[in-house]
Chain A
Amino acid sequence: MSKSFSGGIHPAYNKAMTAEIPIADMPLPDKVRLPLSQHIGAPCKPLVAKGDTVAMGQKIADSDSFVSAPIHASVAGEVVLVDDQAIEIKTDKEKSRFSGAAQSYNNQGELRQIIREAGIVGLGGATFPTHVKVTPPEGVTIHTFMINGAECEPFLTTDHRVMLEQGQEMIAGSKLLMEACGAEKTIIGIEKNKPDAIEHMSKLIADEPAFAVTGVQVKYPQGWEKQLIKSLVGQEVPDKGLPLDLGIVMNNVATAVAVHRAVEYGEPLLNRVVTVSGSGINKPQNVRAPLGTSVADLVEFCGGLKPEAAKIIDGGPMMGRALSTLDTPITKGTSGILVFNRDEVHLFSEDPCIRCASCVDACPSRLLPNYLALYVKREMLDEAEEINLMSCIECGCCSYVCPSKIPLVHYFQRGKQEINARNRNQ
């Protein structure tokens, strides 16, 4: 594969645990907690008060800001808590039935409005509001729409299962997104370790001249937007720029499905598919869970934790966030809940850097992680900025390959925060 990006790593994928099992629908939990900020952009303001009764799919929080996405009640019931962080709803299981109607639109603007009103954001984990993504700025023409089906994070198989089970809906959604952004063709990029998905998609698009399916090299972080674009069309999105600069818009598999459902059934984003996997969970599988479900409820549905369970991760193992409590809600960006047993927990020990340059070779952004970490440690922020600390995507390749087990990404997060704080103060 000459077209693929440089750098990257080949971790153990561990996808077999869940890849073959159909998505399970989870029954509604007794209570949901919906954070007001589940997306990149301005947090929402509550539209309901404590004690209100809400219907399933009712909009309960919204924002005036363009870069934001409204939040809907994922169950019917009574609002039991509203604070500046979240809204909690006690489920009324009898009344929790969604009813909506197909939405019609006359132009691009109305279509984008439907997407916005449905609260759809990038479901791959980045949670960037979709209606913003498909609205190119004045003077920019989009020629290609892309579907990101790479799913390069180990363990995760949500996009894989969705492509197999809801492929038709994904194609329909892609057509809508293509229309919304004004693109002429669609490329679906799938990592080659999912041959069944590639085959299934190829069949589905056999009569669609505007569509193409491309298998891409199996390498982490193939699913990072800019890296996948490089693999698919051989062009690099400018540093600090957007795919728009190349006339490209990319969306995740599940996002396209959500757009289709918003137009076809008038259904806002009420649930998402989450991979529940790892050595510490009794019944690994993909679950379609209502947004706001607590991790505890989800884990319970999957047979509970094993006694040796020691670590819970929200997201994939490379970029996910470790949780300190099961009392955390599933949000629009939760692509996986992974549970590791104690013997599988990797710890950083931080030996001295031996300058082996493994991190330099692995960095998909072509940075020098060893020098960046050194500068952050010594508080040489100017020097760190000069060698492009801010271009780091925190993919974790450097930390993964480091023989000295230095938590490089952790230092970069701190350095970025300190640089941002300093720039704000200036």
Chain B
Amino acid sequence: MTDKFVVGPSPHVLGPKTVKSVMWEVVIALAPVSIAGILLFGLDALLVLVTATVTAMILEALVLHRNLKPASILGDGSAAVSGLILGLILPPSTPLWMVVIAAAVGILLGKHAFGGLGNNIFNPALVARAFVFMSWPVAMTTWHGPLSLSDWTTRVSVDVASSASPLGGAQHGLMEMFLGQTAGSIGETSALAILLGAIFLIVRGHIDWRAPLGYVGSAAVVAAIYSFLGGDFALTTIAWQLMAGGLLFAAVFMITDMVTSPVTKTGRLLFGIGCGLITMVIRLYLSAPEGVTYGILFMNAMVPLIDRYTVPKVFGEVKSR
């Protein structure tokens, strides 16, 4: 028996979840899209993913611990999540030095300039993408088509001819898009892999259905209205809009980012709807090829406001007479 008992506030039992477990489980959820990206885009994709992740982790270790011990680099896993997500939203042909700069901008400017984990207003990966997108627009919009099976069996060719992405006007069948056999960012093309990650996250209770549903739902509504006004209304057009570009990936992995989304249930739904509307408006009416980045960044800035106006009614709150 000890001479002094341990005394502290209630509760005296705590749940199994830790920041570390949450972050590494998100990494696990990103595994299907990462694997799909590597299978579709080859060695280039692998190098981009590894570079982005490792750069992010090393920079975070330097900022937080000022050393590069293995424990510091692994940290709580949040840098790995940001880095990996950043890699997944870059084109597979991005030069690696550009990836390093992107990761540095994301971690240093997007995250630690705001005070580190939990305090950043904007999604670090999206800050990084917005930065490189504005700095090197050509590199960021040069898409390479996916490798075919024969490419893999012969040799992975680095110089696959550049081709247009679906949003750039390329024509693809819905099935091709579902599996991800289109040009695009590493992790964004395969709807199937994204859905696998989504199922894992929902089952493990890390994401709430409200934000993704609001996002995809509102995007679908805008797409429907647009196609209706354009006179070629068809369900396939809507499905095409939802699977093109980074919309689905964002719905599962970016607007559900805990730090930069609202905490209230109503707030999450509103946040998703807002992101969806802005994304689609940018996509359809502006000259920019992709609205996901700016749509979400804009709504990130709205989060404190959304939380403030969606404070839930407490248990048994009496309606004002």
Given known A-B contacts A354-B117, A356-B258, A11 and B13 have beta carbons under 8 A apart = yes
B173 within 8 A of A: no
How far is the CB of B287 from the nearest CB of chain A, in Å? 34
A238 within 8 A of B: yes
A207 within 8 A of B: no
A348 within 8 A of B: yes
Q: Are A241 and B318 in contact (CB under 8 A)?
A: yes
Q: Which one of B4-12, B92-100, B182-190 is at the A interface?
A: B4-12
Near B by CB (< 8 A), chain A positions 321-371 give 321-325, 338, 340, 342, 345-348, 351-358, 360-361, 364-368, 370-371
Whose C-beta in chain A lies nearest to the C-beta of B206?
Answer: A356
Given known A-B contacts A239-B314, A356-B258, A403-B18, A321 and B10 have beta carbons under 8 A apart = yes
Whose C-beta in chain B lies nearest to the C-beta of A388?
Answer: B314
Instruction: Name A239's contact: one of B13, B76, B117, B315 (CB within 8 Å).
Output: B315
B130 within 8 A of A: no
Instruction: Name B263's contact: one of A12, A307, A355, A366 (CB within 8 Å).
Output: A355
The B interface is mostly helix, strand or loop, or mixed, namely loop
Looking at B5, B22, B258, B307, which has the most chain A CB atoms within 10 Å of its CB?
A: B5
Residues of A within 8 A of B217 (CB): none
Near B by CB (< 8 A), chain A positions 274-320 give 305, 307, 309-313, 317-320
Q: Are A354 and B258 in contact (CB under 8 A)?
A: yes
Q: Are A348 and B8 in contact (CB under 8 A)?
A: yes
Q: Are A407 and B9 in contact (CB under 8 A)?
A: yes
Q: Are A236 and B17 in contact (CB under 8 A)?
A: no
Residues of A within 8 A of B312 (CB): 366-368
Distance between Cα atoms of A152 and B12 in the complex (Å): 15
Distance between Cα atoms of A258 and B319 in the complex (Å): 38
How far is the CB of B150 from the nearest CB of chain A, in Å? 45
Give the interface size class of chain B: 35 or more
Distance between Cα atoms of A346 and B15 in the complex (Å): 9
Residues of A within 8 A of B163 (CB): none
Give the interface size class of chain A: 35 or more
Q: Are A368 and B263 in contact (CB under 8 A)?
A: yes
Whose C-beta in chain A lies nearest to the C-beta of B76?
Answer: A351
Residues of A within 8 A of B145 (CB): none
Near A by CB (< 8 A), chain B positions 300-321 give 307, 311-318
Show 16 A/B contacts (Cβ-Cβ < 8 Å), sorted by A: A230-B315, A317-B10, A321-B10, A322-B5, A342-B2, A354-B22, A354-B117, A356-B206, A360-B264, A361-B208, A366-B312, A368-B263, A387-B311, A391-B315, A401-B15, A405-B18
Known contacts A351-B76, A353-B118, then 7 further A-B pairs from the complex at CB < 8 Å, ordered by chain A residue: A318-B13, A321-B10, A324-B5, A338-B12, A356-B206, A394-B10, A403-B17
Which B residues are within 8 Å of any A CB, using their own CB?
1-2, 4-15, 17-19, 21-22, 76, 78, 116-119, 206, 208, 258-261, 263-265, 268, 307, 311-318
Which A residues are within 8 Å of any B CB, using their own CB?
5, 9, 11-12, 154, 226-227, 230, 236-239, 241, 305, 307, 309-313, 317-325, 338, 340, 342, 345-348, 351-358, 360-361, 364-368, 370-371, 387-388, 391, 394, 396, 399-405, 407, 409-410, 413
